[in-house]
Chain A
């Protein structure tokens, strides 16, 4: 009888598949007309002009994708300014700042726009976040 009870208790424990953590689950805000226009222009550029230039960006979210995500996250004005600031930061000496301001992912400098204007950006020193 005890064994039957134990069996029933055993059956109660069901395995569940572990939760899947997808990449960026940031909530998208409502976009105005200028936001959508700019994003469309950037996507046009990504299809036509960017694959033809041959050079690859040193950063992992490339500069055009950075601007696109910044516009979706922070709006038209801040996104534009952050994007153009990123164009000025994209130079060959970026790899000297790894460990100080950036970390590496897939052999490229990892610099996403989402935590840029929030407190989370330097919650822990970057030397530990390099994997």
Chain B
């Protein structure tokens, strides 16, 4: 009976938004160990999540996950996103595969996890991932032919223009040194040109990846109400 009142006090603190003190009251109840622990682990995890201490919230969510039998899909989505924030991508992907495939947010999060591990080619089920792979192929081809211009389409205009101009300039310097038969100049200028040319190709891939990651993060924040 006494402990129920402690619980109501702790729940009231949670509602008010006093997360730090709510955690202490929940831990006090855990210390007595007479009440059911699953609900308390979940609430402590929620408080740490609001305080943006994702390591500890993952700890307590993990304890809740191990104890509870029938877990809801919404909890699995939330827990997997927190694991992604910490950096435990493979564990999050393992959890997401337990959810049914009809869930759109589950597919989004799975693709996000595979993107972070650089194994996005393994996941081709949604329209988002198919579009991503198409655009990636087109942009890499364009970056070979017209260096710098696909970077503009990813949203980074100044970087694209600078890479285009630098590639033009260094290419012209290589051509000029070829004409003059200045072998030392060829090696120096070609090394410069090669750095920026390969850099342009890598930059298109990384900018595309970052753009998709940001889009997914915004959608997830809207759906999961982070």
**Chain B residues with CB under 8 A of A55:** 195, 199, 202
Residues of chain A at interface, number, CB under 8 A: 11
Q: Does A52 lie within 8 Å of B24, measured CB to CB?
A: no
CA distance A130 to B125 in the complex (A): 41
Give the interface size class of chain B: 20 to 34
Task: Report the stretch among B54-62, B88-96, B129-137, B159-167 that lies at the interface.
Answer: B159-167
The interface of chain B, by Cβ under 8 A from chain A, is 20-21, 24, 148, 151, 156, 158-159, 162-163, 166, 195-196, 198-203, 206-207
What is the interface of chain A mostly: helix, strand, loop, or mixed?
loop
**Chain A residues with CB under 8 A of B148:** 52
19 A-B pairs whose Cβ atoms sit less than 8 Å apart in the complex? A15-B21, A18-B20, A47-B158, A47-B159, A48-B158, A49-B166, A51-B156, A51-B159, A51-B207, A52-B159, A52-B166, A52-B200, A52-B203, A53-B195, A53-B199, A53-B203, A54-B198, A54-B199, A54-B206
Q: Which of A29-58 contact B (CB under 8 A)?
A: 47-49, 51-55
**Per-position contact with B for A82-121: 1 when CB-CB < 8 Å, else 0?**
0000000000000000000000000000000000000000
Q: A54-B198, A54-B201 are known contacts. Are A49 and B162 too (CB-CB below 8 A)?
A: yes
> A-B contact count, CB below 8 Å?
40
